[in-house]
Structures are given as C-alpha cells and as structure tokens.
C-alpha cells in the first residue's frame, strides 16, 4: 500500500471524527505555538513493514528560540505544524499513525504532534522520512520519541545540561570572497552526550537565514571530548553576497534536544555575478556532437541565469547576441536568416548589483541543400506547386522586423529562386534579388574567379557578375 499521509487515528475511525479531532488539534497547536518561547525541530524515519520497538531512526532535535527566528521562519514553522494536522483530514484509510512525543522524567507526555511525511515511496519496504515542528513545552524535556501505531520505534534521551558554545570565526569585520571559515568551541556537562552542529548564514543582518550545513560532528565525538575546537570551511561563491557589513553566521549545538546558539559579529561577503546558462542551442556529450540547425529552420535561443543574491535573473536583464549583434532580451528568442557556417551565440545576464556575466555557445548552420523538382512556371509568383517540394529559406530580417523568403529548387541544370515579401527599395538604385554562388564553398572574403552572382532588379533588369579575387 502506498502511504500518502501520516495520521493520529485508527483505521476504522470515521472520517468526520478524524476531521473534528484534527481541527481541534490544529487549534490547540496554534495556541501552543503562539505561547511557546521556542520551537523544536525534529526528523526521523521508520519502515512501514517493520513497525517494532527501536526499529526506527530519530535524528537530533534542535530547540530554536522564536526570538532568534526571522518572520519568514516563524511563518514556515507554523505552516508546517498546521500542515501535519491537515494531513489527517485527507489521510488514506489504514494509514499509519505517526507522532513525535516529548516526555518529562516521569514519562508524562508534555507535547505530541503528528509527523509530516518527507518522502513517499511505492515500495513498502522503503524507510520513510518524517519530520515535525513542535512548540516547546514548559516542562523539562528528558526524552524524545517517535511513535508509530502506538509502538515506540525510536527514542533519544540526552543529558539534562544544555551545551555551551563560543564562536571564534568569523570574528567580525572580515571581507569574505573565496572561502568562509567558521570555527567554534562547544562543551556539554553531560559526558555521555555527543554534540552535533548546524551552521546558518544571513546576508542581511539576520532578517533572513539559510542553513548551509547540518548534523556536523565535532572531532571529539569519537572519544567523548566535545571541547575540541571545530573548524568548517564553505565555498563563499555558493552564498549570496552581503550589502556591506551585514553578513552573519550562527552555529547551533545540540545534544539531541537541548540547543545552544552562538552568533558572529557582522562581516562582508563579496556579492556574486550572475551565472547565465544556455539551454538551446545545445551541444552533445562529445566535441563531435555539435549544435547544428538546418538552414531552412529557425534557430531557437533559450536560456536563463541564476544569481546568488537575486535568485532567478529577470527576463528583461537577459540579452542575446549572435556574432556580436544584439538579437533581443528574454528567456527565448527566435533567429532566422543566418548564413550556413559556424555562429557564436552569447547570453549576457545582469543582476541588481550591476554585475554581469556571459555564457557562450557555438552553433553551425548546415549548408543549403536543394531538392530536384519539375521546373516551375516563371510567372512572377511563388505559388507554383513545384516550390512546395523545394526549400524555403527566411532571409535576414529588415530593420522593421519583417522578413523576406526565398523558395529554392533545382530542375535539370537550372537553379530556380523565387523571392517574396521583399521590402521596396529606394528610387535609385532600387531593390534587387540575387543568388551568389561560391562554387567550392571556400567562403573567401572576396569573390574568386569561379564565384558568380545572378541578380534581378526591381525594375525587371537582369545582370550577372563573376569574381576576380581582388574585390571586383
């Protein structure tokens, strides 16, 4: 059976009763959350097909003072708490009852909340991860338990003392560019306790926080010496930059429940340039798998950019270029009229700090190949049925954005080209359409003696040129 939601009620409980009790529990939880000074964050896991004593997993809990949380964190925690009760209303019949409990030294349950499922698996033998946000009770918590269908599958009983922690790095005033070093010392009066740590970073003076590492074990965990110093280094390029001296780090030390927090003095993290990426055109896994587009097909440009400070870069701040020429802005552009050969596509992203970066991708427009067909009627129109089996190529756009099209085919020893939607030229010399033939595909800058051009003017005049290799 696929277990979709956790529940506090037996399988045969009426849905109406479950809804009523869940609503009552949620109301009580909201009241408890509002009155609590701290919030307990805890995760664990159990195996649905093996619900027996001590068969589950209970990770370290962290007790977090609400006064140290940002408004966004408080809202997230409250939503998580209410979501656990809402799960009960839509639970599947027969789903497991999974709860986290906090108990005192007498075994009295001081707090109990339903667990939220973190991972859903179709395989019933798979261990399921669960979590809970619990308003910290007023009494002294001695034991944390994970209970499934009334069976205690995991227990954690830390010592009574709360750890102490001193943060030595960052000391404050630093400018961090490549590496952020965080160092601290922590102690616990309970010799049997082994401390784990979580590190959080704020780029804005504590208005928002993000966890950059959790469940860090100190070097003394193996021999019971929690007093040994701990040093951890982080790649600062993964962190959003700060607006001057507004960067903060804090470290949480947990013995399994009791938690100490130390916060650094402010420092600076250098703001990061955006990181643009091109989705299309896209090369394959090997150098031979180059991005290619048929000459009669449009070239799709697609991409975006992420930024450590801004998140996703706005569409208006994404600029596309092909061979150095600006094509437009946005996540997507369509380009037509590119000549056969290799072209360079660039996407430049600019963030709110004014920093910019460019991603580059090459694309090859394949040579033009022309099918053979019956000769069309030369009547000045491109609607002859023969052109339907030919190749249609859109020409480079005019300044107005409009584009002309040329229909091409071969019949016998003749090349037929029919142009349409061309813009009218000036009075003198007028517009003309033509085909230049590079016989050996040398792509020389100057027409060679075996290169020819065939042209028809807007006035109906016809003329032919042959190259001389020196610009004539």
Locate the domains of the chain by residue range: 15-156, 164-269, 275-365, 385-466
What homologous superfamily is domain 164-269 in, according to CATH? Immunoglobulins (2.60.40.10)
- The predicted structure's pLDDT at residue 315: 93
Residue 268 vs residues 170, 179, 201, 274, 312: alpha-carbon distances, Å: 10, 12, 12, 18, 22
Q: How far apart are the first and last CA of the chain?
A: 81
Q: What is the predicted pLDDT for the residue at 97?
A: 85
Three-state secondary-structure class, residue 449: coil
Helix (H) or strand (E) holding 181: strand 179-187
Residue 18 confidence (pLDDT):
34
Per-10-residue mean pLDDT for the chain, 472 residues long?
Answer: 27 31 65 86 90 91 89 82 67 74 94 82 69 91 94 94 93 92 92 91 91 84 64 90 90 94 94 91 67 86 89 93 93 88 93 90 86 84 84 79 83 86 71 76 77 79 79 62
pLDDT at 11: 28
In the prediction, which pLDDT does 220 show? 59
Alpha helix segments (H runs only) across 36-120: 71-89
Question: Identical fold at 164-269 and 275-365?
Answer: yes
Give the C-alpha separation, 171 to 167, whole Å. 8
What token pair was written down for 422?
Answer: 């061309």
Round the CA-based radius of gyration of the chain to a whole number and report it.
35
Architecture of domain 275-365: Sandwich (2.60)
- Cβ burial 62-96 (10 Å sphere, 16+ → b, else e): bbbebeebeeebeeebbebbbebbbbbbebeeebb
Confidence at residue 94, expressed as pLDDT on a 0 to 100 scale: 60
Contacts of 193 (CB under 8 A, 6+ apart): 158, 159, 161, 163, 226, 255, 256
CB 214 within 8 A of CB 198: yes
Residue 208 has, within 13 A of its CA and on its CB side, a CA count of: 11
Tokens linked to 4 = 């979709």
The total number of residues shown for the chain amounts to 472
* Residue 468 · residue 447 · CB < 8 Å: yes
User: CA-CA distance, 20 to 453, in Å (whole number)?
Assistant: 85
Q: Are 416 and 408 in contact (CB under 8 A)?
A: yes
Helix H or strand E segment including 35: helix 15-35
């Amino acid at each position: 059976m696929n277990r979709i939601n956790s529940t506090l009620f037996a399988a045969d409980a009426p849905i109406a009763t479950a809804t009523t009790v869940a609503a009552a529990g949620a109301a009580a939880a909201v009241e408890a959350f509002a009155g609590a000074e701290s919030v307990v964050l805890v995760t664990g896991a159990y195996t649905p097909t093996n619900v027996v004593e001590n068969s589950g997993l209970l990770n370290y809990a962290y007790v977090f003072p609400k006064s140290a949380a940002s408004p966004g964190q408080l809202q997230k925690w409250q939503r998580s708490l209410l979501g656990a009760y809402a799960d009960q209303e839509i639970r599947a019949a027969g789903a497991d009852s999974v709860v986290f409990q906090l108990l005192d030294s007498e075994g009295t349950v001081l707090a109990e909340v339903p667990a939220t499922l973190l991972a859903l698996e179709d395989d019933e033998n798979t261990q399921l991860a669960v979590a809970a946000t619990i308003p910290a009770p007023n009494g002294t918590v001695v034991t944390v338990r994970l209970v499934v269908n009334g069976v205690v599958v995991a227990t954690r009983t830390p010592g009574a003392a709360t750890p102490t922690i001193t943060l030595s790095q960052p000391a404050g005033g630093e400018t961090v560019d490549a590496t952020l070093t965080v160092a601290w010392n922590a102690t616990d009066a309970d010799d049997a306790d082994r401390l784990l740590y979580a590190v959080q970073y704020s780029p804005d003076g504590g208005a928002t926080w993000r966890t950059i590492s959790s469940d860090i074990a100190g070097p003394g965990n193996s021999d019971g010496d929690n007093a040994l110093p701990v040093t951890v280094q982080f790649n600062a390029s993964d962190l959003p930059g700060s607006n001057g001296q507004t960067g903060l780090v804090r470290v949480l030390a947990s013995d399994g429940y009791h938690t100490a927090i130390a916060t650094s003095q402010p420092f600076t993290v250098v703001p990061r340039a955006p990181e643009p990426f091109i989705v299309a055109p896209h090369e394959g896994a090997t150098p031979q798998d180059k991005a290619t587009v048929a000459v009669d097909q449009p070239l799709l440009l697609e991409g975006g950019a992420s930024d450590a400070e801004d998140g996703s870069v706005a569409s208006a701040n994404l600029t596309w270029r092909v061979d150095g020429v600006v094509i437009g802005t946005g996540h997507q552009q369509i380009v037509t009229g590119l000549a056969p050969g290799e072209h360079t596509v660039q996407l430049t992203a600019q963030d709110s700090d004014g920093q910019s970066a460019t991603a580059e991708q090459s694309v090859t427009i394949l040579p033009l190949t022309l099918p053979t067909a019956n000769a069309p009627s030369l009547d000045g129109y491109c609607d002859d049925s023969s052109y339907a089996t030919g190749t249609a190529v859109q020409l480079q756009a005019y300044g107005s954005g409009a584009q002309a099209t040329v229909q091409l085919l071969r019949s016998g020893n003749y090349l037929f080209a029919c142009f349409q939607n061309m813009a009218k030229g000036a009075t003198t010399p007028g517009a003309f359409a033509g085909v230049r033939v590079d016989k050996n595909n040398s792509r020389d800058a100057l027409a060679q003696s075996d290169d020819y051009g065939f042209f028809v003017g807007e006035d109906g005049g016809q003329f032919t040129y042959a190259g001389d290799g020196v610009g004539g």
